[in-house]
Structure 1
Amino acid sequence: MQNSTFEGPTAFAQLIRDAVADAAAQGVREMVWSDADFFDWPLCEKSVIDALNVWANRHRRLVILAHNFDVIPRKHPRFVEWRRMWGHIVECRVAKQWDATEFPSAMWMPSTYVQRLDPARFRGIVSNDALGVAHLKEALNEVHKQSSPGFPATVLGL
């Protein structure tokens, strides 16, 4: 597979499920997820959390970039619990200065990526093209540079 296109929310969700499962099976050391709010990612599904548990058991790193994390506690409670347990390997960042409609929607790994080029229509690309992987990583690094910590693993109260 070099480049393959996808269209529709069902195809997108399945690609995310498959990518997390592949990351666990292949021992991928780092993932970067980016989305305006992760509303339509399958983060509430048990199969995704199970795959994340397998993936996280070895020294891993997950960077999550968002315009905001408001949706995640309401829509993805299983993921919130997983995040609490694995907070030491998960870095969540907020980049509010980016327009939510322009925020990159992608899942990056060192050898492949899934990217929604048109999030409203769920159209995008899945690719293992080395140049594409590098360009997406550069773009996500730029978002990271312009972001600040967000979505803490635990909330301390008084």
Structure 2
Amino acid sequence: MSGSEPFQVERDAHGRLVLIDAQGVRHEGVVPVRAFPLQAPGEGVSLVGADGRECLWVPRLDRLPEPQRTLLDAECARREFMPRVSRLRSVSTFSTPSTWEVDTDRGATSFVLKGEEDIRRLPEGRLLITDSHGIQYEVPDRQALDRPSRRLLERFL
């Protein structure tokens, strides 16, 4: 089933997502999974059932009615925990591994960067940094960081 047929998405009494497809069949506990969460977050979202099979393919979130788009965006954001770095406070050493002290949209934190290869460059000046535990941090625009943060970051790029 593609996203061109009418469908509904809602939360049940337990907070789980329920997909009601074009035929009126209820699919309990669906999970939205972005096909390209970093490169094209608004394009290609699969609603996967509890059995792991795709129940619905949504080609573009921005073409959905507002309530459905908002619900799916919120669920994707909850599933795709990725703090955004707003400032680098310090790094323990300019060689790796090093401990980074940063400010994020979720508060101050520290993490260990194992190697420079764990900093991935993305389009439009974005960076994706993966710490030693596999948690990913996004730098939305490295040029928008303050000057001291940019200087620290450039030592690793």
TM-score range, shorter chain: under 0.3
Report the structure number with the largest CA radius of gyration.
Answer: 2
Q: TM-score, normalised by structure 1?
A: 0.24
Please state which structure has a larger fraction of its residues in strand: 2
Please state which structure has a larger fraction of its residues in helix: 1
Q: TM-score, normalised by structure 2?
A: 0.24
* Structure ranking higher on relative contact order (CA contacts 8 Å, 6+ apart): 1
